[in-house]
Amino acid sequence: MKKFLTVEDIGDLNAALKEAAEVKKTPYAWDELGKNKTIILIFFNSSLRTRLSTQKAAMNMGMNVIVLDVNKDGWKLETEFGVVMDGDKPEHLREAVPVIGRYCDIIGVRSFASFEDKKADYEEEILNQFIEFAGVPVISMESATRHPLQAFADLYTIEEYKTKPRPKVVLTWAPHPRALPQAVPNSFVEWMKEADVELVVTHPEGYELAPEFTKGVTIEYDQKKAFEGADFIYAKNWASYSQYGQILSQDRSWTVDEAKMALTNDAKFMHCLPVRRNMIVTDGVIDSKNSIVIDEAANRVVSAQVVIKRMLEALKK
Ligand code: AN0
Ligand code: CP
C-alpha cells in the first residue's frame, strides 16, 4: 500500500474489517514490524483525535513518531507552482516534501480544503504533491476531499454495533456556525456505498455533495422521513459544494434531537467529533445510551493501525 486516500486504496472491505478486528484484539502483535521505522505526521490544521490516534497506532506497531505542526514549527510553505516567491512563504512544498521523505518511512498529512479554489481542492493538489514527491507511502489524515481514516473507523464501528445484516444508515447534515469541509461526508458516502448497508443522505437543498460521491445514492430532503426506521444516524455539517464553501443555512430545525431520534429504529448516534453541542446534536441525544461517539473515536486507533501495518508489510517486500 503506497497511499491511503480513497476506499479503493484499502481493497476488499471484508478483509479490511477482519484485519481491524484482529488489530483491536491484539494491538501489540506486530510491534517488531515497525522497529527502527519512523512515521512523520504533518499537520496544516488542528486535530485532537487524528493526531493522538495515529500516533498511538504507530507506537503499537513499534514505530518512532515525529509530529510537525507546520503552522507553528516549520517554515510557511508555498503550495502553488510557478509563483514568484516574494511573499511570506520562504519554502516550497516541492523541496519540503522530498526532504521530509528522507527522514521517515511513512508520512501522514492533514491538509483541509482551502475553500478558495474548488478545482485545486478537488484535485487534491497538496496531498498529491506529497504522493508524487515524498518517495515514501502517504496517508491522508483528512485532506481536501476525503477523511479515509475516519470513514474506515466509522464502518468498523457500524460493523461492531449492527444488529442486522444490512442496517439502514442515515447521513444527516446539521447546522454549524463556521464553514466546514466536505471531506468527512464525502468519505463516509464513498465507504458506505461499498459496504453492506442501506444508505440515505439527508440535507437541505443547496447542500448536495459532489456528484462523483453521491452518484446512485438515495437523497431525501425531508430529514424526518429519512430518519424513519434508521439503525444509525451519522450527523455532520458541511459547507455548500455548488456555492463552494458557502454557508447557506444555519437552520436549527436540522439539529439532531430526541424527537427525531424517536422516529428511528432505536438508532445509534454517530459523529466524527469535534461536535458543537446543541447546534449539531442536543445534549439529550449525545449523552444518551444510544450515542456511540466515544467508541467511534476509539476505533480511530484501529483504522490507523491497519493502514500503517499494511504499509509496513509492503515496505518489507
Ligand atoms: C473538521 C471538518 O469538519 O472537516 C474536522 C473533522 C474531523 N471539523 C472542524 O473543523 C470543526
Ligand atoms: N475526527 C477527527 O478527525 O478529529 P480531529 O480533527 O480532532 O483529528
Report the number of distinct structural domains present in the chain.
2
Q: Which domain holds residue 33?
A: 3-146+299-316
Q: Rounded to the nearest whole angstrom, what is the distance from the C-alpha of residue 86 to the centroid of ligand 2?
A: 34
Tens-digit pLDDT profile for residues 222-261 = 999 999 999 999 999 999 999 999 999 999 999 999 999 9
C-beta neighbour count of 116 within 10 angstroms? 9
- 253 and 133 in a single domain? The answer is no
- 289 and 310 in a single domain? The answer is no
pLDDT of 159: 98
Name the DSSP class of 267.
P
Closest of 70, 94, 71 to residue 82, by C-alpha: 94
Q: Which atom of ligand 1 is nearest to the CA of 147?
A: 7
If pLDDT is split at 50, 70 and 90, which confidence band does 317 have? confident
Average pLDDT, the chain: 97
CATH number, domain of 192, equals 3.40.50.1370
- 64 and 186 in a single domain? The answer is no
Reading phi first (left if > 0) and then psi (alpha if -120 to 50, else beta), residue 2 is in alpha
**DSSP string covering 188-257, please?**
HHHHHHHSSSEEEEE--TT-PPPHHHHTT-EE-S-HHHHHTT-SEEEEE----TTTTT------GGGSB-
Report the C-alpha gap between 141 and 151 in whole angstroms: 11
Q: Rounded to the nearest whole angstrom, what is the distance from the C-alpha of residue 39 to the centroid of ligand 2?
A: 19
- 93 and 142 in a single domain? The answer is yes
Pocket of ligand 1, candidates 178, 182, 184: which has the most ligand atoms within 8 Å of its Cβ, to mutate? 184
pLDDT of 83: 96
What is the percentage of the chain residues whose pLDDT exceeds 90?
98
- 187 and 75 in a single domain? The answer is no
How large is the average pLDDT for residues 25-44?
98
pTM beyond cutoff 0.95? yes
| N-to-C CA span, the chain | 11
What is the percentage of the chain residues whose pLDDT exceeds 70?
100
pLDDT of 74: 82
- 203 and 186 in a single domain? The answer is yes
Task: Write out the three cell numbers for 161.
Answer: 454495533
- 161 and 284 in a single domain? The answer is yes
Cβ–ligand 1 distance for 184 under 6 Å, the answer: yes
Report the C-alpha gap between 3 and 256 in whole angstroms: 35
Ligand nearest to the CA of 54: 2
Q: Rounded to the nearest whole angstrom, what is the distance from the C-alpha of residue 140 to the centroid of ligand 1?
A: 14
C-beta neighbour count of 300 within 10 angstroms? 25
Report the C-alpha gap between 113 and 146 in whole angstroms: 9
